[in-house]
Chain A
Amino acid sequence: MTPSETPPTPPPPEAKRESLIRWKALLPTLIVLAVFGIFFRFFLDGFVRRGIEKAGTAANGAKVEVDGVSISFLHASVALRGLHVADPAEPMINRVEVGSMRFHLAAKPLFWRKFIVEDASIDGIRTGTPRTRSGALPKSAAVAAKADGGKGKPKEPSAGAALGKLAFGNLKDQYDPKKMLRPENLASLKKVKEEQVHYQAIADMWGPRVDALKTTDLDGRIKAFADRMKNERYSGTDGLKKAKRDLDEAKKLKADAEAQTKGYGSLKADVTGEINRAKDTLKGIDDLKKQDLDGALGDLKAGFSTEGITRGLIGEKWFAKIHSTLDMAQKARARLPKKKAGEKPEPPPARQGRDIPFPFRYNWPTFLLVKAGLSGATQDGLAYRGTLKDVTSDPGKLGRPAVLNVAGKKDASALDLSAVLDFTHDVSREQVKFSYTGFPLSGVKLGDMGGPVTIKDGRGTTTGDVAVKASALGGTIRFGAAPVSMDLALPADKAKDRLLSILRDTVSRLDALEVEIRLSGTLTAPGFALRTNLDDKIKEAVGQALQKEIDEMRGRAQERLNGLVDGEKKKLADQIDGKAGGALQKLGLKDKQVASAQTQIQKLVQDLTKKSTGSLLPAGDNGKPALPGNFKKLFKKK
């Protein structure tokens, strides 16, 4: 067989050209897509419900539950049944409960991924409804919710907002000096201890420095030199040379004595400086003691001031409600785009990227709720209706603020609420005005003043006008009740307390209650200033008794503070006197020794001058022996 006759080798399998499209997969793909479609049709509702619950819970810090979700692609509508938002502070209560919500979306914008809710109804809104199961999150979930932007439980009121947090217990127990003045919290005691350590370290340094300045060497050298000089005679040229050597040695001894004097002077100045500083510190400790005492009694004074008592009467719970509402407003604001015109955009969130907008032929924001009808009832059963308009993800594009209006009336009660939330400009403005009149107060629980304060009977009126411009909060909330009767139920053990029994009588005699809360600061750090008609009555009733209690407590606290600090302070004073005294005494002795050595060397130099000039030199013009030029300089009197 010739090579040309060799049968062609079959092509390798990959060489076989396969079709690019897998036509056989068309039907399975369609089936898979259909399965997906069916799956979405039947399970999307559940997914969305769980999504709302998960996101809502993370934002709320307590459980958010939805009874059911129904999504209709055909009608472009979403319906929610039974939304329950638990209160993180009171997990057995719903912060808000909504019976049903229905949203009808415009179909056309959906093609461009724009969600325009043309019409909505939110019905059965109620607040403060009881729950059958706790809405508190398990510990791990609560931590996760907190990590999710700290949107968990409302923050503890801080700074001036330790709102109404006042314990009207047995004063002697509550303000026990041992609890109020703990050694670890006292700045004065801390300072004394620090000074004791510091002073010990300084004193430990002085000892070696004083000892290092030895006078014995110099003494010995001077004595040896003096002994030698007694028998020394100078004659001839050798005598002159010898005299010069001796004079040089005497000059060196003199310089050494001067240097030692200087060293003592410097050390003495250091020691004296430290002693003076330590004595100043001792004086400063008295000031710190005063500060410690004032600090310990500060809470007591604030708590038992008339404003403190009023806060206690109104109760932390009510201030916390205001705080929580402001907190929610802040969270809602945080979700709005913050970019101002011309501002550099923030870096995109990791693994999310940033959506870049482009000119769009329709003026549709990504989300817009055109109008929603609202209906609900207050806790007292007052039914109301209202509207919510123009809630959008892009207020600048819409150019209109979101507006909420709610009103209702029943017998003597009336509710009117209006809110304008304007985020259309760089500086946002929100204003909420409300008025709720004639609501029943019977059984309303206020604060705790050693026992719960309850309103027995009466009707109340509350009005408010709160505005937030950029981050500045301002406005007033007024509450009034007249006629009203209140009760402070003191437990038996507290009923004997003089101050608390006066407070109970004052509260039971009150027939009108007027409270004005002025808001200031920011949403995140609001300030509350109280004005109330209780001030004068409380001042009048408890003023003297209160002052007496505070004075007695101050005396006890002072005693405890003295006991803790004074002993240590005395130890420090003794330490200063003991250590410094010893060092100074040593320095004084050595100083005397050096002075004596200096005198001795001075005398030796004079003797040596006489001796050498008398025996070695010819007489000068004045009859005295003439000295060579260098010697003249050496013995020249200064």
Chain B
Amino acid sequence: MLVLKFLLNFIQTLNQDVSPRSLAGGLALGMVVGFVPKIGLLALILLILIFMLNVNFGAATFSAAAFTLIAWIVDPVFNKIGYALLTAPSLRALWTLVYNTPAAPWTRFNNTLVLGGFVTGLVSLVPAFFLFRWGVVKYRERVLARVQKWKVVQALKASRIFGLIHDTF
């Protein structure tokens, strides 16, 4: 039921007058959170970032949940990326420096899965932001306007079933 509520909230947010920039920012940051295993300080820092940056929190939550599932599937790829980065001779000095920095080990950056997921998320952050923004605009222009005209949707809205479902869950 929580999943349904998440989805309904997200669709509601998507259809509301929330700026595409804020939505795309939330989705992109949520993606990074989703990719990073929820252990250690890194996840907490990312969570604070979502709170503090002007991004839509609902979109970020939805995106984090969705990308956690994706991360679960692509876990071996993240492992390989993390392992390659952590064992790269050219980066060894950097990792050693970070490793010796107080509090840094609490981020668990030296874990192959954490670093692999984090770097993948970080690299995809900017392209994902623009992609999501474009997607939100196109959705509102093309899909939303058309769907709103569907009799089924209008009937549903009129019957208040949608609201009832939303309130129930």
Contacts and interface: CB of A to CB of B under 8 A. Distances in A.
B and A form one assembly: yes
A182 interface: no
Interface of B is mostly: helix
A55 to B, nearest CB: 16
B51 A29 contact: yes
Interface string A343-358: 0000010111111111
B21 A356 contact: no
B129 to A, nearest CB: 12
Contacts of B86: 356
Given A13-B19, A14-B20, A113-B105, A348 B79 contact: yes
B112 interface: yes
Interface of B: 17, 19-22, 37, 48, 51-54, 72, 75-76, 78-79, 82-83, 86-87, 92, 95-96, 99-100, 102-103, 105-106, 108, 110-114, 116
A20 to B, nearest CB: 6
Contact of B53 (A21, A348, A361): A21
A29 B45 CA distance: 12
Contacts of B92: 358
A111 B19 contact: no
Given A14-B19, A18-B22, A355 B54 contact: no
B54 A354 contact: no
Given A21-B52, A32-B51, A354 B83 contact: yes
Interface of A: 13-14, 16, 18-22, 25-26, 28-29, 32-33, 111-113, 348, 350-361
B100 A22 contact: no
B96 A351 contact: no
Contacts of A358: 92, 95-96, 99-100, 110
In the A-B complex, list the 3 residue pairs whose CB atoms are closest, starting with the nearest. A353-B113, A111-B102, A113-B105
Contacts of B37: 351, 353
A16 B54 CA distance: 13
Nearest to B17: A13
Nearest to A359: B96
Given A20-B53, A111-B103, A361-B100, A356 B87 contact: yes
Contacts of A33: 48
A478 to B, nearest CB: 49
Given A348-B83, A350-B75, 13 more contacts: A13-B19, A22-B54, A28-B51, A112-B100, A348-B79, A352-B113, A353-B78, A353-B114, A353-B116, A354-B111, A355-B108, A356-B110, A358-B110
A354 B86 CA distance: 10
A359 B92 CA distance: 10
B51 A25 contact: yes
Given A22-B54, A25-B52, A353 B100 contact: no
A351 to B, nearest CB: 6
Q: Of B17, B72, B83, which is in contact with the most chain A CB atoms at under 10 Å from its CB?
A: B83
B52 A29 contact: yes
Contacts of B53: 20-22
A353 B52 contact: no
A13 B96 CA distance: 47
A360 B52 contact: no
A33 B52 CA distance: 12
A360 B92 CA distance: 12
Given A26-B52, A29-B48, A360-B100, A18 B110 contact: no
Contacts of B106: 113
A209 B20 CA distance: 88
B54 A19 contact: yes
12 contacts: A21-B52, A111-B103, A351-B75, A351-B113, A353-B37, A356-B83, A356-B87, A356-B112, A357-B110, A358-B96, A358-B99, A360-B100
A307 to B, nearest CB: 53
A16 B37 CA distance: 35
A632 B74 CA distance: 92
A40 to B, nearest CB: 12
Contact of A353 (B17, B48, B96, B112): B112
